[in-house]
Amino acid sequence: MYGMHCRSTEECTRNSCLYPEICQQLDTSQNELKDLLMSARKVPGINKVLIGSGVRYDLALLDNDYLEMITQDHIGGQLSIAPEHICNEVLQVMNKPKHEKYVEFMNKFSTFNEKHDKKQYLVPYFISSHPGTTLKEMLTLTLFLQEKNIKLEQVQNFTPTPMTIATTMCYTEHDPFTGKPVHVPKGEERAFQKALLQPHLEKNLRQLAKALKQLGRSDLIQKLTGYAGSI
């Protein structure tokens, strides 16, 4: 969001410039960032200026030139982004862009990689046990990851952090903006959700099997883990 600013001089009561939709008063131009990156490339002795993370994919999608530029010249093989989940019901609680934006970004990233003969990869960050996430929605994410052949090496199980909306929901079990109840994973369900994010790890086999049995989807155990024995 380097160089972005609000065009309005009036007092604003929005909680976010980006959610639920990008505010029309926000100048979303990437021009200042593009100029900065091009200037940095010209500094004597600088061979590469790499971006490893921090890209808001919903904003990047507004400027194809910027997305193509970083894909061509500013990624060192991997780019970390944070979709956090794929179910829109959960993303709404998180105040994150809809899943369709993540898919659109993946497709454009792939297109620009092919255009410039690059072999670069997106490293997505997903979180388990976030308020608003049920086992059913975690299974939906698990099946999506398998479909895309994504095996997560590192995952985070939600941990309350002071002064955040998510922590408020965690302790009150309600959305502070709507007043509606919010599902908060507790106890063994937290272990189940984390196991669902990494079904390929042998250490997660028992927890994964218990989660799938609870969901009535024991038929998926072998598909997700490759394990054909009894558990």
Q: What's the pLDDT tens digit per position in 135-175? A: 999 999 999 999 999 999 888 999 999 999 999 999 999 99
Query: Phi then psi for 89, rounded to 5 degrees?
Result: -65, -40
Cβ atoms within 10 Å of 226's Cβ, excluding its own: 10
pLDDT at site 216: 96
Please write down the HEC assignment for all residues of 140-201: HHHHHHHHCCCCCCCCEECCCCCCCHHHHHHHHCECCCCCCECCCCCCHHHHHHHHHHCCCC
Residue linked to tokens 């028992």: 206
pLDDT at position 34 is 96
- Has residue 229 got a pLDDT over 80? no
Q: What is the pLDDT of residues 76-130, one digit of tens each?
A: 999 999 999 999 999 999 999 999 999 999 999 999 999 999 999 999 999 999 9
Q: Does the structure show a pLDDT above 80 at 230?
A: no
Question: Domain map of the chain by residue range?
Answer: 129-231
| Length, in residues, of the chain | 231
Do 204 and 198 touch, CB atoms closer than 8 A? yes
Interhelix angle 64-73/99-115, rounded to 10 degrees, is 50
pLDDT tens digits for range 204-221:
999 999 999 999 999 999
Question: How confident is the model at residue 46, as a pLDDT?
Answer: 93
Q: Is the peptide bond before 44 cis (omega within 30 degrees of 0)?
A: no
pTM passes above 0.85: yes
pLDDT at site 231: 63
Task: Report the Cα–Cα distance between both ends of the chain, in Å, rounded.
Answer: 49
